[in-house]
Chains A and B, each alone.
Chain A
Amino acid sequence: MTPFSFEWLWNTEYTIFFGLLYVALGIIGCGMTFVIIKTALQVFGFMRERHFH
């Protein structure tokens, strides 16, 4: 009940629902992490930047 106890129920519907939510959040999180790391590598010269336009 407290913000520190994580409520989790072991049933199918719950797993599917939260599974999809965490997949979506995971994709968003991983995507942003990937972009930030890539940018950092390019800024510090470990990776060559591609030119646009």
Chain B
Amino acid sequence: MLRKSLLMALATAALAGLPAPGLAQETVKVGLILPMTGPFTSTGKQIAAAARLYMQEHGATVAGKKIELVLKDDTGNAELTKRLAQELVVSEKVRFLAGFGLTPLALAVAPLATEAKVPQIVMAAGTSIITERSPFVVRTSFTVPQSAVVIADWAVKSNVKKVVTLVSDYAPGHDAEKSFKERFTAAGGQIAAELRVPLQNPDFAPFLQRAADAKPDALYVFVPSGAGAIVMKQFLERGLDKSGIRLIGTGDLTDDDILPGFGDAALGIITAHLYATAHPSPKNKAYVAAFSKANPGMRPNFMSVGGYDGMHLIYEALKKTGGKTDGEALVAAMKGLAWESPRGPIAIDPQTRDIVQNIYIRKVERVNGELHNVEFATFEAVKDPVKAAKK
């Protein structure tokens, strides 16, 4: 009985995992590892939808190779991400690893990318250091400091002198706090208090009360996108807006995906970010229309463009290498690529393999009855400020 069940189990494993050897020649597999369940599901959904949309629009064949997407759910758990990545490389023979919803997930895989010489396309995670952890990491999403310094610059220009920062207590939050603080104090601004909120935190009220007690000109917030709405609502509830405090932050605060549910309370919030659903370009209009058609009820947000452009990067790199799937050649081909994305013009920095993109200052407004982030100023071709400062 025991033996039978074990053998059966092993046989199932063998059937489930083994690739058909004949196909491996013409098919290029892309391993897409995303949090499809758990607290970060919305990131995974957006990216998976965008990646599928790209393939649907551009066909599954490039440079004579058939592209096949292998989607895996890592539930936002880094040890699982690592095991899935290893399995994808070892048994599925994927030529690209892509996705990575959170910083720890991307970091956990970086040593593997180096060892296996497989390009690792980071489509979401935003901590600056990720691209330095392996020469095979290329990023199509964003770095948190890109938006953080831009909003700091904007704050200085808009006569904001004293700021309280409120960030979630994890690597991207620390990045957001540090880059904002450096840029803002360098320009003569004052940080009245630095608050760090646990990542899983039910009630922001006490933190906001501390912020209010410091009487700043503005409250700078960086929290994961879902929590942003709660911060904002409680900000208004405590009447912080009425006491003359402005709410500013990176675009995670007014994530387009959930913005419609915020209500009028969100009107007038100013954020800096790389993409808004309302970005006024023909390319983006077509993108939003196609995305919403393929995924009814969903709005593409800044995470989605990371997935869309990540697929574009993979396609273009394959075109440049003529379909060759040697990891080093692929990364070399990706360096310096520049194209027009739904978010505007972007490029891969040949030195850092990180993304260079426009950062927009936006304000929440009602457009055709729906809440949107409306862009009103542009900072062009922003590089990751952390890495730029190191040189």
A binds B: no
